[in-house]
Amino acid sequence: MHSAPPSPLPRVPPEGATEAQSSSFSSSSAMTYRQLSEVDDLCTAALVDPVLGFSTHKMALRFRQPGPRERAQLQGVVQAFRGHQDYDRAWKQIGEEVDWWRRTLQKRNSRAWEAMLKEHVRKQRLIDE
């Protein structure tokens, strides 16, 4: 017996979004609850934990945290971003310099995953000044 696939999360435009922004927001790729928790875990481990200096709670039971070397690399990327505020530059830097991030994305082997991660980071504005 097969269960139905999980339903995507409802898409709600950010408060104060224009009509054009609202329509593009709602038409962007919807995530399932599981995808959202995995994407959030990855983004939090990559962007929040290195700044705080400790690992925050993750939804996935088998989530693999970055090691000490990778945390230091991630912290360097976040600090550099705070100076230049260029998402594309930071995205390229994290992909080139942080083995944990590269391995994590390779396991998912999907441009859709990369797009979801980019969207999540930008919408959360986790590291903007």
Tens of pLDDT along the chain (129 residues) come to 555 545 444 454 445 545 444 444 433 457 788 888 888 898 888 888 888 888 898 988 888 889 889 999 999 998 998 899 888 898 889 888 898 888 888 887 677 777 888 887 777 665 565
pLDDT for position 127: 56
**CA-to-CA separations, 114 to 16, 42, 54, 129, in angstroms, rounded:** 27, 11, 25, 23
pLDDT for position 26: 39
The CATH class for the domain spanning 30-56+65-124 reads: mainly alpha
Q: CA 120, 124, 129 angle in degrees (round to 5)?
A: 130
Contact 57, 48 (CB under 8 A): no
pLDDT for position 23: 42
Cut 0.85: pTM above it:
no
pLDDT for position 113: 76
pLDDT for position 119: 80
For the chain, what is the radius of gyration of the CA atoms?
A: 16
pLDDT for position 29: 56
pLDDT for position 73: 92
What does the pLDDT look like over 18-54, one tens digit per residue?
Answer: 544 444 443 345 778 888 888 889 888 888 888 888 8
Paired tokens of 8: 């995507």
